[in-house]
Amino acid sequence: MGLTLTEKIIKEHIVDGEMIKGTEIGLRIDQTLTQDATGTMAYLQFEAMGVDRVKTERSVAYIDHNTLQSGFENADDHRFIGSVAKKHGIWFSRPGNGICHQVHLERFGKPGKTLIGSDSHTPTGGGIGMFACGAGGLDVAVAMGGGAYYITMPEVVNIKLTGKLNDWVSAKDVILKVLQILSVKGGVGKVMEYSGDGVLSLSVPERATITNMGAELGATTSIFPSDETTRAFLKAQGREEDYVPLAADPDAVYDKTVEIDLSTLEPLAACPHSPDNVKSINEIGNIKIDQVCIGSCTNSSMQDLLKVAHILKGKTVHPDVSLAIAPGSKQVYNMMAQCGALSDLIDAGARILECACGPCIGMGQSPNSHGISLRTFNRNFEGRSGTKDGQIYLVSPETAAISAITGVLTDPRTIGAMPPYVMPERFIINDNMVTPPASPEEAPSVEILRGPNIKPFPINKPLPESIEAGVTLKVGDNITTDHIMPAGAKILPLRSNIPAISEFCFTVCDETFPKRAKEAGKSIIVGGSNYGQGSSREHAALAPLYLGVKAIICKSFARIHKQNLINNGILPLTFVNEADYDRIDQGDELALPDVKTEVENGSKIIVKDITKGFEFETTLELSGRGKAMILEGGLLNCTKKNG
C-alpha cells in the first residue's frame, strides 16, 4: 500500500511511537522558528532547560509581532531575544526583515524537512513541502534542545484540486472554500494534503496562502507536494540545491477526500467573526466599507502585492476608505521598490506600513467604531482588530484592492479584465538583516540582555489528591485564544510579564474575570466545543495558571491549546455527556475528590457539582507523557525530575 506525503515525511522523522492513527508519536525536528510575542517565554524556558547550543539544523528567531515600541518593553524584548539567539546558536531575523512565515518560506524552508514554530501559522511552510506545525513555546524550546515533538498520528485528508482558477479568483478563495466546507474544527487531528492537477497551476506563495490558513481549520498542518514549481521558486531564491521532489505514492490511501474544481470557484469572504463564516462576495452584496488592510503572513508575497499594485496603478483610494499595506518581508518591499510597483501603491494613496504583522494582531490600524474592514489576513475574531465592534471580512488581495478604490465590497470580476503582471525570475537576495549566531568558542562570552519587563514565568505544582474550586467563568463554543489572552497594542508589550498580562485574561468575555479569579484563589473554567482555537500563544495557559485555574471542562479542545494546558499542568477535561454543560452554572462549586488516583489509573474523572448536588463524568485523554506532565505539574517539572 502506498504512502501519503504526510506519512512519508513522518516515517523519515519518527523517533518514538508507531505510525498508528490516533496514537502519540514523537518526531525529530529539523528546523524551528519563534517570533517575539511568544519568543521571550520560549527562550526563558530554553534557558531553564540548561542546553548550551540548539541541536537543530536551523533555528531562527524572528522579530515581527511587537514592533510598535510605544514603550521600552518591545525593544527590551528584541534585545533579549537577539542576545539569547547569538549565545545559543540561533539565527536572528531583525525587526524590519519581515513576518516570520514569509521570510522563512523565502530563505530557509526546505521540502521534506520538519519545522515547528511558536506560532500557529507555521504550516505556511507546507507550501514548500515541509511538515510544519505550530506549537507552544515550551515544545519549541524542547525541540531546540534536541527533544522530539509529540503529536497524535494524524488522519490525512486529501484535498484534490482539479482545473484552474479563473481570473480574479485566487488562492485565498481556495482556502476560504475549504473552510466553508470543513469549518474551524474540521481539521482537528488531521493533516490536509493537497494533490491533483490543480496544484500545478499554483505558485509556491499561493500554496503557502492555503497551508497558512489551514491553521483556521484546526488542522495539525497542511502540505503541498514539492514539484517543478517548487524548484523554480527555490531557484529564484538562489537555493535550488534545497529542492527535492516529493509527492504521495499514486496508490496512497487517504482517510477522506475533498474534491475542489478550481474553475468553479468565485471570490469569497469570511464574514464577522469567524474564518469559516464564508459567503460569496455576490451574496454579501456591495456593502460600504471603511478600511482595507493588505498584508499578513497569509497574503503579503511579491505576487500578491504586484497584483495589488497593478490594480491600484493610476487610481485613487476611495475618499471614505483608509488603505494600509504591509509587505511581508524586506525582500518583497525592496523588489516592489526596485520594479516601481511600490510607487503605484504610494501614488494611489496607500498607507505603507513596515514589514511586520501590524494590524493583523491589532498593532495599530484599528478600524473606526462599527467600522467595516476588509483584510487579506487569516483571522477575524471579535475584538482582534483592536476595535471591539469592528466588522472584519477576510478577502483576497484582488477583492481588497478593488474594493479600496470603489469604496464598497466589490466582486473583482465585475471590473473588467485582470491587469497582467509578470513575476521576476530572480528575487533580490540579501540576508543582511539575519544575524548569524556566535561561534561555539565565542558564545560563552555573549551577555544576555534582560529588560525589567521580563519576569519569571509561573511554574505549576504537582497535582494534589483532590481539587475543590468554583466555576469562575462559563463560556460558549469556539472560544479563541484571542478571548482567553487578548493581544493588541496595549496588551502585547506585556507578553514577557505574566503577572501583568494576566490582568487582561478573558476580559473580552468578562472584564471582572481576573479580579474574581484572583480572589477565588482556585478556579475551574467551563467551556463549549473547540475551546482554545487560534493562536499557539502559551500565555493562554500561563495567565490562567497564574490566576489559579486548575482545570478547564469543555466539550472539545483545539490541538495546540490543549497541549499548552498539559505542558503547564492544567487539567483539560471533556464532558462524557455534553448535556452536563447545560446543568452547570457560573458560580457553582465543583469538586474532583479523587483526581490524582483517577489520573494515575485511567482517563475517567468524576466531578461533583456541590452547589447543585449532582455528579458527572469527564474524560482526560492523555498519552503516557501527558499523564506524567499532569501529575508533575507540567513539562518543565517532568524534565527536571527525570534529569
Grid cell, residue 157, equals 485528508
Are 460 and 568 in contact by the 8 Å Cβ rule? The answer is yes
Site size toward ligand SF4 (CB under 6 A) is 11
Cβ(200)–Cβ(229) under 8 Å? Answer: yes
Q: Is 38 in the site for ligand MIC (CB under 6 A)?
A: yes
Question: Does 535 participate in catalysis according to the annotation?
Answer: yes
Closer residue to ligand MIC in complex, CB, 66/114: 66
Q: Residues 460 to 489: which contact ligand MIC by CB under 6 A?
A: 487
CA distance 592 to 613: 13
Which of ligand MIC, ligand SF4, none does residue 537 bind (CB under 5 to 8 Å by kind)?
Answer: ligand MIC
Residue 357 binds ligand SF4, judged by CB under 6 A = yes
Alpha-carbon span 591 to 614, nearest angstrom: 11
Q: Is residue 121 within the footprint of ligand MIC (CB under 6 A)?
A: yes
What is the residue type of 540?
A: A
Binding-site member from 104, 537, 550, 559 for ligand MIC (CB under 6 A): 537
536 binds, among ligand MIC, ligand SF4, none (CB under 5 to 8 A by kind): ligand MIC
Angle between helices 302-312 and 204-212 (to 10 degrees): 100
Which grid coordinates are listed for 313?
496603478
- Choice from 252, 361, 434, 558 touching ligand SF4 (CB under 6 A): 361
Q: How far is CA 511 from the centre of its chain?
A: 25
Classify residue 26 as exposed, middle or buried by CB count within 10 Å of its CB (0-12, 13-18, 19+): middle
| Separation in Å, CA 445 to CA 80, 187, 285, 516, 519 | 15, 46, 62, 46, 45
Of the listed 537, 539, 559, 561, which one is catalytic?
A: 537
Q: Does 121 bind ligand SF4 (CB under 6 A)?
A: yes
Tell me, yes or no, if 88 is annotated catalytic: no
Residue 618 host element (H or E): strand 614-619
Round to whole Å and give the CA distance between 179 and 380. Answer: 13
Stretch that binds ligand SF4, among 310-318, 353-361, 392-400, 552-560 (CB under 6 A): 353-361
Q: Which of 30, 58, 59, 64 is catalytic?
A: 64
Alpha helices in 60-200 (DSSP H): 72-88, 100-107, 137-144, 171-182
Residue type, 621: E
d(C-alpha 353, C-alpha 600), whole Å: 53
C-beta atoms surrounding 422 within 10 Å? 8
Residues 378-437 that bind ligand MIC (CB under 6 A): 379
Mode of pairing for the β-strands spanning 549-554 and 571-575: parallel
CB of 216 closer than 8 Å to CB of 275: yes
Is residue 37 involved in binding ligand MIC (CB under 6 A)? yes
Annotation says 65 is catalytic: yes
Note if 609 is an active site residue: no
- Shortest approach of ligand SF4 to residue 473 CB, angstroms? 25
Residue among 134 and 328 whose Cβ is closer to ligand MIC: 134
Question: Which parts of 65-84 interact with ligand MIC (CB under 6 A)?
Answer: 65
C-alpha–C-alpha distance, residues 550 and 572, integer Å: 9
311 vs 542 by CB, closer to ligand MIC:
542
Residue with smaller CB distance to ligand MIC, 121 or 185: 121
User: What's the min distance (Å) between Cβ of 236 and ligand SF4?
Assistant: 23
Q: What are phi and psi of 556, to 5 degrees?
A: -165, 160
- Nearest CA to 401 among 508, 317, 487? 317
Residue 276 CB, shortest distance to ligand MIC, in Å, is: 16
Binding ligand SF4 by CB under 6 A: which of 191, 204, 297, 590?
297
121 is catalytic: no
Stretch that binds ligand MIC, among 83-91, 386-394, 533-541, 599-607 (CB under 6 A): 533-541
Q: Binding to ligand MIC by residue 501, rule CB under 6 A?
A: no
Beta bridge partners of 394: 270, 375
Is the C-alpha dihedral spanning 513, 515, 520, 522 positive or negative? Answer: positive
User: Of the candidates 361, 526, 595, 630, which one interacts with ligand MIC according to CB under 6 A?
Assistant: 361
Q: Quote the DSSP letter at residue 151.
A: E
441/384 Cα distance (integer angstroms)? 45
Q: Residue 610: phi, psi to the nearest 5? A: -70, -40
For residues 345 and 315, what is the distance between their CA atoms, to the nearest angstrom?
Answer: 9
Contact between 119 and ligand MIC by CB under 6 A: the answer reads: yes
Is 537 a residue of the active site? yes
Q: Is 556 in the site for ligand MIC (CB under 6 A)?
A: no
Name the β-bridge partners of 237.
none
Residue (41 or 571) nearer to ligand SF4, CB: 41
Please report how close the Cβ of residue 454 comes to ligand MIC at its closest, in angstroms.
Answer: 16
Please report how close the Cβ of residue 541 comes to ligand SF4 at its closest, in angstroms: 18
36, 106, 119, 580: which one binds ligand SF4 (CB under 6 A): 119
Q: How far apart are CA 144 and CA 84, in angstroms?
A: 13
Selected range binding ligand SF4 among 315-323, 345-353, 356-364, 387-395, rule: CB under 6 A: 356-364
- Interaction of residue 360 with ligand SF4, rule CB under 6 A: yes
Cβ burial, residue 36 (10 Å; 0-12/13-18/19+):
buried
Catalytic residue among 385, 502, 535, 556: 535
Rule CB under 6 A: say whether 209 interacts with ligand SF4: no
Residues 313, 556: Cα–Cα separation, whole Å: 48
Residue 120 within binding range of ligand MIC, rule CB under 6 A: yes
User: Which is nearer to ligand MIC, 13 or 65 (by Cβ)?
Assistant: 65
Of the listed pieces 266-274, 354-362, 444-452, 587-595, which binds ligand SF4 according to CB under 6 A?
A: 354-362
Instruction: Report the residue number, 183 or 296, with the smaller CB distance to ligand SF4.
Output: 296
Distance from C-alpha of 121 to C-alpha of 104, rounded to nearest angstrom = 12
Closer residue to ligand SF4 in complex, CB, 65/78: 65
Residues across the chain: 643
535 binds ligand MIC (CB under 6 A): yes
Read off the amino acid at residue 145: G
Task: Catalog residues that contact ligand SF4 under the rule CB under 6 A.
Answer: 65, 99, 119, 121, 296-297, 357, 360-361, 377-378
Active site residues: 64-65, 119, 379, 535, 537
Task: Catalog residues that contact ligand MIC under the rule CB under 6 A.
Answer: 37-38, 65, 119-121, 134, 361, 379, 487, 534-537
